[in-house]
Structure 1
Amino acid sequence: MTFPPNEIERPRKERKENADKRRRQVLDATYRSIVSNGLVKTTLATVAQQAGLSQGVAVFYFKSKNGLLTEALRDLYEQYQSHWSAAIATADPDPVVQLVALIRADFDPAICNREILSVWFAFWGEQAFVPQYGEITREYDDNRSRAIQKMCQDLLPGDPDRAANIADWIDTLTDGYWQNLYLFPANYSNASALESSLKCLAALLPEFAEKLGRL
């Protein structure tokens, strides 16, 4: 017996959509569990409770706590990378404009808020004990570092050493402000961190300060 293509493809599509929805529910619940319980005390049971699903659903999609947490970190990086990549993709191709777009993206409350920062720092604190976390972090951090290096090289084609140093400083600067926002929320805000970062960028690139001041 044969069936028209639309009658066999539709159920498969629906199954995939349902599977993607369930995976998304479990991953989002994982982040909420980490915020509420910390990384060490997050379990398949706490995640299932947060998701309003049976623990068997989490086991079905992620097999184990380690599998779930590893995938959650990769998903967190994917969301972050998609965010900053979209910011520079929609910005003017001028590397000065792209640098500003990337820095602004870093302090967008949608991607940088206390709950998300607590998840980031929970994972980063465990990197020395879970090699998979370090591997994922290096992979995605390298992507971002290369993007910043490319912008700086385009700005300073005749001075590659200076371009490399500035790229490293920018990368470190925004990471540092994320830490301050997480540890000292009473003293820092997204707006103040962004303003200070852009001032630092103007100091690092004085020849582009006038243009930076207009962005």
Structure 2
Amino acid sequence: MKKTTTPPEERRLTDETINSSTKPRKERKDNADRRRRQLLDATRRSIIEHGLAKTTLATVAAEAGLSQGVAVFYFKSKNGLLVETLRAHYQFYADTWRAALDTAGPDPRDRLMALIAADFSPEVCSPESLSLWFAFWGEQTFVPQYAAICREFDTDRSGAIREICGALMQDAEEQKVKQVAQWIDTLTDGFWQNLHLQPNRMTPAQCLESTRAMIDALI
């Protein structure tokens, strides 16, 4: 009888699955969450180093120090891994600006300035973070899943800006409030693009100062 062998990657995945099944449920969940975070972090690094098109399960596995089989086990495919990487990146951004609002107090101007400051914070506005944004944004037209995630999170943030502008412009017509909120949102995107494409032209601090000046001029 011909002897069959299991490929190393499949064997490692099988061993991991068997070992995990003997652990308590909470420990299994913690291990799974840790592996997922490890793979998502590796995907971000791969996109920054290789670009979105050249990021593969192989490059991600190499960055994570894991087998491709483990990546497939948790995310099914390259597309699944990229989709969840974009969602995680947006979730971090949303958590950052919401935390800024939570600590800003009730004054609407303070809240708006805090939200804008979060846009240009080192955690959000680093060269690495901007590379990820524009890598995914450039593919929205071709990948509906990317577009849906962007729309979901962008709508949430735009709504927060409109709500704050409404509190600041209580005597203004609703259309004017929406217009001013759109200008503020668009200006941030424009500064992010400049910082990404021409990083030596301006600093995040200068972009924040200019945005604050525009807000004071508008409201």
* TM-score for the superposition, normalised by structure 2: 0.88
Aligned counterpart, 2:196: 182
Aligned counterpart, 2:92: 79
Q: Which AA in structure 1 matches 2:110? A: V
CA distance in 2, matches of 1:148, 1:32: 31
Unaligned runs of 5+ in 1: 1-9, 206-215
Aligned counterpart, 2:19: none
Q: Paired residues, what number?
A: 196
Q: Does the residue aligned with 1:90 lie in a helix, a strand or coil?
A: helix
Q: CA deviation at 1:14?
A: 1.0
CA distance in 1, matches of 2:175, 2:46: 44
- Are residue 27 (structure 1) and residue 27 (structure 2) matched? no
Aligned counterpart, 1:209: none
- Are residue 53 (structure 1) and residue 66 (structure 2) matched? yes
- Are residue 152 (structure 1) and residue 186 (structure 2) matched? no
Please identify runs of 4+ aligned residues in structure 1 that moved more than 6 A. none
CA distance in 2, matches of 1:163, 1:102: 17
CA distance in 2, matches of 1:162, 1:131: 31
- Are residue 69 (structure 1) and residue 79 (structure 2) matched? no
CA distance in 1, matches of 2:209, 2:30: 41
Worse-matched range after superposition: 149-158 or 99-108: 149-158
Aligned counterpart, 1:88: 101
CA distance in 1, matches of 2:181, 2:208: 17
Q: Which AA in structure 2 matches 1:102? A: L
CA distance in 1, matches of 2:114, 2:161: 11
Aligned counterpart, 2:3: none
Match of 1:118 among 128, 131, 144: 131
Aligned counterpart, 1:211: none
Q: CA deviation at 1:55?
A: 0.9
Aligned counterpart, 1:134: 147
Unaligned runs of 5+ in 2: 1-22
1:46-70 C-alpha deviation (Å, 9 max, x unpaired):
0010111111111010000011101
Q: Which AA in structure 2 matches 1:25? A: Q
Match of 1:194 among 190, 193, 208: 208
Q: CA deviation at 1:161?
A: 2.3
RMSD: 0.9
* TM-score for the superposition, normalised by structure 1: 0.89
Q: CA deviation at 1:145?
A: 0.3
CA distance in 2, matches of 1:136, 1:19: 23
